[in-house]
Chains A and B, each alone.
Chain A
Amino acid sequence: MLLQIKNLKVGYGNIEVVRGVDLNIDKGECVGLIGESGCGKTTVGLSITKLIPERRGITSGEILFEDRDILKLNPEELRNIRSKKISYVFQEPFSSLNPVFTIYEQIKESLEEKDNSDSQIAEILKSVGLEKIIGRKNVYPHELSGGMQQRAMIGMAVASKPSLVVLDEPTTALDVTIQRQILELIMELKNKMNLSILFISHDLRIVFSIADKIGIMYAGKIVEYGLKEKIISNPGHPYTMGLMDSIPSFEHRKKLFNAIGGKAPLFSDLPIGCKFYPRCKFRIDKCLEKEPELENVSSGHVSRCIRIKDMHYGVIKNK
């Protein structure tokens, strides 16, 4: 196992936003993490290399990367992991790139000194489909389109040949056609470099197309986890079903969506019992007793819902 997150808890002040997350990523595997804005998915991604500021603090848990607990490393050791072994690509390429340095300078910076020659940089530009920039050392980020900026970001992320890349909504700010190109690029690099990927997104369509395993997060906890095929064919949590019913498509023509009502709860004011209770279509009084544990739906597929047994292939016997 390349990365094992065990019972991770992160608090922002007194408010806990990641409330006990377990997640494993194998070598060469792509794990998707889905959830609405503010469910804590980005915080999980940032915690992996302890990028959360001290005052916000990771309160408990273990993050085992190549069998070492990242949370116990000293700053020197952390520096050797950040961007060398674990790198990031974020949502907004333009705000991630430094506007006053050229693309060349920025890729050079992410390479180790011994191999930051121009030919190395050209190699990287080529691998992310930026042949146009090879040799043009005075190109700044603002001269590139959003898609090309994101390619440059991906180039920087893989320059140091990391084993894990955390992609946090890498295609959300892009158009569909560009989105598709970037996803293809990510898959190509993943296969070529045997990369492990944590892919964070709120868009199920994208995660379904790229991930091997999927975790669905709600209010700071994973509510369903398993192989992609199992979740698509037999979602085991009402929240997952609601998200799948919200996907707009031609087949749903002119019908009202079976949308999830209401909005996600505030972390400062979480409901008792199951956190999805106020928005759940299948709720019963027993759901209020305590927050459900993860239970097996089938082998390698777990869900945090006490009504699992009443659920079969997305249908529930209601009340």
Chain B
Amino acid sequence: MELLKISNLYKTFKKHKVSAVDGASFSIFKGEVLGLVGESGCGKTTLAKLILRLIDADKGSIFYKDKDLLKISHSDMRKTRKSLQIIFQDPYASLDPRMRIGEVIEEVYDIHKDVTGREKKNKAIELLETVGLGETYLQRLSSELSGGERQRVGIARALATDPEFIICDEPVSSLDISIQAQILNLLIDLQKRKNLTYLFISHDLGVIGSICDRVIVMQSGKFVESGSCETIFRNPKHEYTKSLLESALLS
């Protein structure tokens, strides 16, 4: 089943005259992990932000179920975002340094207003346990946490609204390799358990290859190749994909 269908999406940053997303069309199916790979500045994150309407697209359409996300009102979009979440790359920059971890997660419910009062705290504890932390973290500040622990908080926050689709924007790029493996394990496990759908953004083909079902290769705003992980890794067609695979030190 198609969960998201994106057609002819364009975004140009006028001031710099950069076509960050130049006619993107693709579908994401329920329960799959779709990889998006490309160098810094090729438009991966812009595409992620466009899908969640964190920035406005120039033209195109994004169908989530029957709704075109680009046409619905802001308040409808806000409600829809409950099902569409994001985990950011930098766990240092994406947590408010002045908020306790409990507050970070409970804030989600203040915005979406579906859980109130004491229930919020119980939910927060439950989420922290899901991501391998626990109640003891409620009162901690993000500065007291390691990179891996912060990323777990980021994941808990994304899970708070029980989404069906999560964009993982380079979630392990800033982590040490052993911690990277722990976080990837957690993401794989959650995906299977909750039948989540991921758009997994990374510049590391090793990470993409280990977790994704399908891959899209992006270069300066355009899709240059897409297909199943097997096809892309075993039999890349496009020169750019080949050069990425060569650089990835996969041996």
Contact = CB atoms under 8 A, between A and B. Distances in A.
A254 B181 contact: no
A72 interface: no
Interface stretch (A116-124, A243-251, A288-296): A243-251
Contact of A202 (B176, B204, B205, B243): B176
Given A202-B176, A249-B209, A260 B181 contact: yes
Contact of A179 (B148, B182, B207, B247): B247
A242 interface: yes
Contact of B185 (A242, A253, A256): A256
Interface of A: 36-37, 146, 175-180, 202-206, 208-209, 242-243, 245-254, 256-261, 263
Nearest to B38: A175
A176 B177 contact: no
Contact of B249 (A205, A242, A257): A205
A243 B229 contact: no
Contacts of B77: none
Listed from nearest, the 7 A-B pairs whose CB atoms lie closest are A250-B209, A246-B181, A259-B181, A180-B247, A257-B181, A248-B210, A248-B206
Contacts of A180: 246-247, 249
A202 B185 CA distance: 19
A257 B248 CA distance: 19
A246 B176 CA distance: 10
Interface string B182-226: 101100110000000000000111110111000000000000000
B178 A243 contact: yes
B188 A254 contact: yes
B249 A248 contact: no
B250 interface: yes
A248 B148 contact: no
Contact of A250 (B244, B247, B250): B250
Contacts of B12: none
B177 A247 contact: yes
Given A176-B204, A176-B244, A259-B178, 12 more contacts: A175-B39, A175-B40, A179-B247, A243-B177, A247-B177, A248-B181, A248-B206, A248-B209, A252-B209, A257-B210, A261-B182, A263-B179
A221 B248 CA distance: 30
B117 to A, nearest CB: 34
B180 A246 contact: yes
Interface in B2-55: 39-40
B209 A177 contact: no
A250 B210 contact: yes
A31 to B, nearest CB: 19
A177 B178 CA distance: 23
Contacts of A248: 180-181, 184, 204, 206-207, 209-211
B206 A247 contact: yes
Nearest to B209: A250
A248 B184 CA distance: 9
Given A36-B178, A37-B176, A202-B176, A249 B206 contact: yes
A235 to B, nearest CB: 14
A201 B180 CA distance: 15
A259 B194 CA distance: 22
A260 B209 CA distance: 20
Nearest to A253: B210
A246 to B, nearest CB: 4
Contacts of B246: 180
Contacts of B204: 176, 248
Contacts of B176: 36-37, 202
B177 A256 contact: no
Contacts of A175: 39-40, 203
Contacts of B177: 36, 202-204, 243, 246-247
A205 B189 contact: no
Given A202-B176, A205-B206, A249 B181 contact: no
B91 interface: no
Contacts of A259: 178, 181-182, 185
Nearest to A260: B178
Given A177-B39, A252-B210, A242 B178 contact: yes
Contacts of B139: none
B92 interface: no
A176 B188 contact: no
A157 to B, nearest CB: 23
Contact of A263 (B148, B207, B243): B148
Contacts of B64: none
A71 to B, nearest CB: 30
B94 to A, nearest CB: 18
